[in-house]
Structures are given as structure tokens and as C-alpha cells.
């Protein structure tokens, strides 16, 4: 009997810890990151050119940031002071075109654009290096933009609903408002929610079922998630309408949660052990 009780207690603690750790890790997804890295040499081999996109998988008709880096093939370092032109086409349609000869002092440039559905061809002409004109060198890339598919309807905030007993609870409503009115207002927030849903709904039904079966476990979950809910309310109060603002507040919320769930307990435990040893 004691063995069964210990096993159930261990199972509950394991599920609770998994929920907390995954929630904190997934908050990192708020931070936008360039992905889908491509690197090719120019047709004459003078430079390497890298491009990456944010979001990782561009959606047709939505803003995509294309980052272009010019690299010295010998040193593998960014080559400064590049004169260039960029042309992006999709079939016979021009998606983006440099109006004039462009210059980047630090050897990197990020261009926001709205890609078309399907394959978008990015052609980059290099006309000068470090204020010295050179014969035109070219490199081309192909980036595919997907058509935005309808989001599958998923259940609501299962764990919070099970914890507070109803979807009408203020805490549950707060989570829903943050999701719909804050996170969905930026590309990084949408990226976060896409990744979060895949992980969250993989384990949240089991946690919610266990809460309904065990009132003690439900109270433990409530005490565990309350600080996190309080920190997330910062996003609701903040005036966030840009990627940079989401990045700043997102990092702040992550650091706050790390402090509450890991740093403060570690300090308390260290002091207790120190006092005990004395």
C-alpha cells in the first residue's frame, strides 16, 4: 500500500515538474530567431552569401524578414562595406527590388518583404567591396512561402480550467486575452503559440485529468502556476505592437519566471543547508 502511495505521489510530482519546465522553456520561443540558413558562393567565388528568414517558415502574404550576410571565404568573417542590389521574383511577379545601388557598412542587411505563395527567387548582385568597384557577381536563392492553413481548433486552457473549475474563471480569461490580444498581434507571438500548442496539448489532458481526480494535486498545481500567471499578466498590461517590444517584454517575463522558480528556491535551500551545517 505504501509503495502504491509513493508511486502515485512520484507520478504527480513528475507531471507537475514537467509542466513547469516545459512552460518556462517554451517561453523562450517568444524570442524571434532567424532560421532556414542558406549559404552559396557568388558565381565568381569572391564572396560567400548567406541568407536566413524570420519566421523560419515564411507564410505567403505575411511579413518575412530576409537577412543577407556577405562573408569573406578565406577568413569566414563578415565582409564589411558591400555595394549590392537585390531582386526577388515569383514567376513573372516582382516581389521586391532595390530601387538604387545599396550599401551595407557592416556587411549584413535585413529586408522586410511579403513573399508570394510558392517558390520565390532571390537574386543578389554584388557591385563593390570596401569602396572598390568590381565586375558584377551574382548569387541566387530559392525560398518557398507556404499558404497559411486554417488553424485547427484545439481545446482551451485545459490545466487552468481544471485548476480553477471553470473556463469563466478570471485567471482563465486572462490567459485567453493574452493569447488572442497580445501574442497573436506579432509574428513572434504567433510562432510561439504554434510551438507551444504542439507541446502543451501533448501532456495537458493528463495533468487536467489528474487534477480532477486528486484535489491535493489540483491545489499543488494552483500554487505552482499562480506566480507564472501573475508574471504573464505583465504582457496584458504592456502596450505591445512590435516585434522589438515583444522581444523585450518576453525576455523580461522569462527572467522573472527563472528567478521565481529556480533562483529564489536555490537561495533559500542553500541558506537552509548552511544554517543546518552550523
194 plus 251 within the same structural domain: yes
In this prediction, residue 2 carries a pLDDT of 47
272 plus 226 within the same structural domain: yes
Work out how many domains the chain is built from and give that number.
2
In this prediction, residue 13 carries a pLDDT of 52
Q: Once rounded to an integer, what is the mean pLDDT over residues 23-35?
A: 44
**Where among 101, 125, 145 does a domain terminate?**
145
239 plus 175 within the same structural domain: yes
207 plus 177 within the same structural domain: yes
192 plus 262 within the same structural domain: yes
pLDDT band at 254 (very low <50, low <70, confident <90, very high): confident
27 plus 154 within the same structural domain: yes
In this prediction, residue 17 carries a pLDDT of 52
**Where among 117, 145, 173 does a domain terminate?**
145
93 plus 185 within the same structural domain: no
Percent of the chain with pLDDT over 70: 82
140 plus 154 within the same structural domain: no
pLDDT band at 164 (very low <50, low <70, confident <90, very high): confident
Q: What is the CATH number of the domain that holds 112?
A: 2.60.40.1930
Q: pLDDT for 111-137, tens place per residue?
A: 999 999 999 999 999 999 999 999 999
pTM assigned to the model: 0.48
111 plus 130 within the same structural domain: yes
Higher pLDDT, 170 or 154: 170
41 plus 25 within the same structural domain: no
In this prediction, residue 278 carries a pLDDT of 65
Cβ atoms of residues 63 and 113 within 8 Å: yes
24 plus 160 within the same structural domain: yes
The CA–CA distances, whole Å, from 277 to 127, 226, 272, 273, 274 equal 70, 33, 9, 6, 5
- Cα torsion angle, 118, 90, 42, 50, sign: negative
Q: pLDDT for 190-248, tens place per residue?
A: 777 777 777 778 888 888 888 888 888 888 888 888 888 888 877 777 777 666 777 77
**Where among 112, 145, 178 does a domain terminate?**
145
Domain span at 133: 35-145
26 plus 57 within the same structural domain: no
Higher pLDDT, 93 or 200: 93
In this prediction, residue 148 carries a pLDDT of 66
Amino acid at each position: 500500500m505504501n509503495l502504491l502511495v509513493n508511486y502515485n505521489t512520484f507520478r504527480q510530482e513528475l507531471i507537475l515538474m514537467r509542466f513547469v519546465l516545459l512552460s518556462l522553456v517554451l517561453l523562450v520561443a517568444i524570442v524571434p530567431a532567424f532560421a532556414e540558413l542558406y549559404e552559396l558562393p557568388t558565381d565568381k567565388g569572391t564572396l560567400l552569401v548567406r541568407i536566413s528568414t524570420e519566421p523560419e517558415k515564411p507564410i505567403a502574404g505575411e511579413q518575412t524578414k530576409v537577412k543577407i550576410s556577405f562573408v569573406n571565404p578565406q577568413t569566414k568573417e563578415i565582409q564589411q562595406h558591400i555595394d549590392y542590389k537585390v531582386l526577388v521574383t515569383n514567376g513573372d511577379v516582382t516581389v521586391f527590388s532595390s530601387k538604387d545601388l545599396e550599401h551595407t557598412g557592416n556587411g549584413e542587411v535585413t529586408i522586410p518583404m511579403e513573399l508570394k505563395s510558392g517558390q520565390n527567387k532571390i537574386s543578389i548582385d554584388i557591385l563593390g567591396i570596401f569602396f572598390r568597384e568590381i565586375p558584377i557577381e551574382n548569387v541566387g536563392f530559392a525560398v518557398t512561402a507556404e499558404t497559411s492553413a486554417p488553424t485547427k481548433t484545439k481545446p482551451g486552457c485545459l490545466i487552468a480550467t481544471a485548476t480553477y473549475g471553470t473556463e469563466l474563471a478570471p485567471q482563465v480569461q486572462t490567459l485567453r486575452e493574452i493569447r488572442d490580444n497580445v501574442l497573436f498581434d506579432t509574428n513572434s507571438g504567433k510562432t510561439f503559440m504554434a510551438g507551444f500548442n504542439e507541446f502543451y496539448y501533448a501532456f495537458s489532458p493528463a495533468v487536467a485529468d489528474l487534477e480532477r481526480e486528486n484535489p491535493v494535486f489540483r491545489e499543488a498545481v494552483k500554487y505552482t502556476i499562480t506566480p507564472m500567471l501573475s508574471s504573464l499578466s505583465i504582457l496584458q498590461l504592456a502596450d505591445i505592437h512590435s516585434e522589438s517590444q515583444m522581444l523585450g517584454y518576453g525576455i523580461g517575463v522569462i527572467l522573472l519566471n527563472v528567478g521565481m522558480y529556480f533562483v529564489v528556491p536555490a537561495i533559500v535551500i542553500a541558506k537552509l543547508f548552511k544554517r543546518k551545517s552550523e
